[in-house]
Amino acid sequence: MKDWNEECAVVGVYNVNNAAILSYYSLFAMQHRGQEASGISTSDGTKITTLKGNGLVTKVFDEENLKKLQGKSSIGHNRYSTAGEDSINEAQPIFARYSLGEMAIVHNGNLTNAKAVRKMLIDKGAIFQSHLDTENLIHLIAQSQKEHLVDRIIDALSYVDGAYCFVFLSRSKMFVVRDRYGLRPLSLGKIYNDDGSVGYIVASETCAFDLVGAEYVRDVAPGEMLIFEGAYTPLNACEPKSVQVFAPKSKPCVFEYMYFSRPDSQVYGKNVYEIRKNMGIELAKEHKLNADIVIPVPDSGVAAALGYAKQSGIDFELGIIRNHYVGRTFIEPLQRMRELKVRLKLNPISSVIQDKEIIVIDDSVVRGTTSKQIVQILRKAGAKKVYLLISAPPTISPCYYGVDTPDKDQLICANKSIEEVRSYIGADFLGFLSINGMLRSIGGNQEFCKACFDGQYVDEYLLQSAK
C-alpha cells in the first residue's frame, strides 16, 4: 500500500548529557514517520537553541551543527505534512519567547478544531507565522492568564480537540501530554547516565529506545501529562510527576499496527510484527485460496504474508523487491511510462512469478491505482493468476487525526463494491480482512479508533460537526 502518507515523530529527552545527540538518533530511528523536515531544540538551563530544516535527519544535521545544540534537555520532530505547507516555516519545533520566558513545542497528530481556534485567536490580535495547527498552542499559552506554565498548558489544551502528542520544552522543564483518546502512540523510557543519575526519554515509537539504549518504562496514558523538572540524581531517581489532565477515553489508532509503525516497535504495549503476522493468519482463515506461492508487497505486507503462508501451508516467497533508496520523484513519467513510479520502488522477480498462481498480501487499498499497477506488473512478469488479499478491512473514510489520507470521494472502497474494486484493479480475486478478524489479531479488550474502516469518529468536535 503506497497511498497513505506517514504521520510525524516526536521525541523528548531530559536530564541526559548531550541530549541533542539522543534526539538525533531517535529521530533517525523514526525517519519512516516523516521525511519532509526535521528539527531539534535544546535547553542548557538559560536559553533554548533550535535548528531545523527540510529533508531527512541526516541532511538537516551534521556533527558541526549538533555541537551548537548544547544542554541536558532536548525535543525533536520529524515532519510529514498533515496540516500546513511544505516550507521551512512549517517545520518543528516551534520556538517562541513570551511573558514567562522561552518555549519550544513539537506535535504529532492533528487538531480537528484548529481552524475555529485560529480564527478566535486572530480575532484577538494574534499573528501567525505558519499554517501549522500546532502554532495555536503557542498563542493559547501566551494569552492564558494562569501564573505558571503548567497551568497555562492545561488551560490551552482545554480549547483544542483531536489527536495530539505534545512535548513542550522550557528553559528548565519539559512537559509531555497525550490526548484523552490516546490516538497517537507515545512511550516513556529511562536512561542511566555514567554518573548514576537517571535521564528520561519519550518517543512516538520504542524503536527509538532500542537505538539509544533506553529502557522502556510504559506508555504515556491517554489524557496524561508528565512533568520533568529538577535533576534526577542517584538519590532522587523517581519518575516524572504525572497529572491526569483529562478523563481518559482510550481509543488509540488501530492503523498504527497495519502500516505506520516499525515492526520492531512496541505500540500500545504490543509488538507490531507479531500483530501483523496474526493478521495474516486471520486472513488465511477467512480466505482459503489455492495457489502456488504467497508473496508480500514490501515492506509492510511481509509479516502478514508470513502469517498467511504459515496458516495456509502455501510457500512464502519474496516475489517483489523494494528499492529502499528511492525518495520523492520530481519528474513525472510520460503516459506511456505510467508504471515508472511504482517500478522505481517495486520490481518483480520473474523467475519466482513465471507461470505461478500467486497470492499477493498488501496492507490496504486506498485509491486503488497502486494496487492496479502492482497487478499489471505481476502479470507482465508471467503470473498465471493474481489473488490480492488485504490484511485490513476496506478503507471507507478519511482520517482527521494526523494521517494524511485522501478525501472520501477518492477512497475507492467507499464508492465501489468489492467486486467493482477487483475489476478495476484487475486481480482474479480480491479479499479483505474483516473488522472482527483485525480485532482478533490484536487480542485483548482494548477499544480502538477504526474510523478509517467504519466511519465512527471518536472526537467530540467531529461528532458535533457531522450532526
413 is known to lie in a ligand binding site: no
Asked if 165 is an active-site residue, the reply is no
Q: Which residues of 426-438 are buried (b: 16+ CB within 10 A; e: fewer)?
A: bbbebbbbbbebb
- For 218, counting Cβ atoms within 10 Å of its Cβ (0-12 exposed, 13-18 middle, 19+ buried), the class is exposed
Report in angstroms the alpha-carbon separations of 255 from 25, 129, 251, 402: 25, 32, 12, 12
407 is known to lie in a ligand binding site: no
300 is known to lie in a ligand binding site: yes
**What does the DSSP assignment read for 393-437?**
----S---SS-B---GGG-HHHHS-HHHHHHHHT-SEEEE--HHH
363 is known to lie in a ligand binding site: yes
Minimal CA–CA distance to 284: which of 322, 316, 326, 255? 316
Q: Are 298 and 323 in contact (CB under 8 A)?
A: no
How far apart CA 177 and CA 165 sit, in angstroms, is 6
Active-site residue identified among 8, 165, 207, 413: 8
**What does the DSSP assignment read for 372-396?**
HHHHHHHHHTT-SEEEEEESS----
362 is known to lie in a ligand binding site: yes
Minimal CA–CA distance to 39: which of 29, 50, 31? 50
Binding site for [4Fe-4S] cluster: which residues?
Answer: 253, 399, 449, 452
Binding site for Mg(2+): which residues?
Answer: 300, 362-363
The residues carrying an active-site annotation are 8
Binding site: which residues?
Answer: 253, 300, 362-363, 399, 449, 452
